[in-house]
Chain A
Amino acid sequence: SQTIHQWPATLVQPVGSPLSLECTVEGTSNPNLYWYRQAAGRGLQLLFYSVGIGQISSEVPQNLSASRPQDRQFILSSKKLLLSDSGFYLCAWSSLKGGPGELFFGEGSRLTVL
């Protein structure tokens, strides 16, 4: 069966520090991969999605970046965090093949920038 894991689960970082969140998927190949962010009490904002290795689409201009160095690995990064980067970050995958493409989410990473 397919599983998705992301880490770390929680982190507290000072303003201006770097960020790296990692997500891996097991049990499937060539998935679509997504990073979403959820601010406190708000809905989910799509940040990046990827349909293959090295292929990244950005939905919102910001100081975050994403990379996909391997088929089932998706990384969210920042060189210098802002206070507004605080939130709940969620990685998700869906099947690349045709069909409805339901999303499967990881456990989430809660980031607090101080």
Chain B
Amino acid sequence: DAKTTQPNSMESNEEEPVHLPCNHSTISGTDYIHWYRQLPSQGPEYVIHGLTSNVNNRMASLAIAEDRKSSTLILHRATLRDAAVYYCILRIGDYKLSFGAGTTVTVRA
């Protein structure tokens, strides 16, 4: 299975941007890049996904490297509610999404 590598933790100040990196050097051509986030005692929440082009939605932006071996989730203005564990995962084939350990994001007021 294609794996992803993320930093264990990141800290940010409120109202500042957060850039969360993810490496996926063994990605194949048809694997979608997904991002989810999980608040304590809740199920993960879908954030954004992409294949080749950069993507924007109301929650975040996703920047994908030209060779697709890495990507960055961008939270433009962090709020206290953005404190969570963020998972970068690959959708392998039609069915499987395997989660790694994720990045714990702390937002300081």
Q: Which among B15-23, B69-77, B96-104 touches the partner chain?
A: B96-104
Contact with B along A52-89 (1 / 0, CB 8 A): 00000100000000000000000000000000000010
Contact residue among B32, B44, B99 (Cβ-Cβ distance under 8 Å from A101):
B32
Majority-rule SS of A interface residues: strand
Tally the A-B contacts, defined by beta carbons under 8 Å.
Answer: 58
Size bin of chain B's contact surface:
20 to 34
Give the chain A neighbours of B44 by CB distance below 8 A: 44, 90, 103, 105
Across the two chains, which residue of chain A brings its CB closest to B32? A100
Say yes or no: A43 contacts B100, CB within 8 Å. Answer: yes
Say yes or no: A51 contacts B87, CB within 8 Å. Answer: no
Say yes or no: A42 contacts B42, CB within 8 Å. Answer: no
- Residue with the highest number of chain A CB atoms closer than 10 Å, among B36, B96, B97, B100: B97
Say yes or no: B96 contacts A100, CB within 8 Å. Answer: no
Contact residue among A42, A46, A102, A105 (Cβ-Cβ distance under 8 Å from B98):
A46
B contact set with A: CB distance below 8 Å: 32, 34, 36, 41-46, 49, 51, 87, 91, 94-102
Task: List 17 other contacts, CB 8 Å, given A43-B101, A102-B34, A105-B44.
Answer: A32-B95, A43-B87, A44-B44, A45-B99, A46-B96, A46-B98, A46-B99, A49-B95, A51-B94, A57-B95, A88-B41, A90-B43, A92-B43, A100-B34, A105-B43, A108-B41, A110-B41
A and B contact pairs by CB, cutoff 8 A, 5 listed? A44-B99, A92-B43, A103-B34, A105-B45, A108-B41
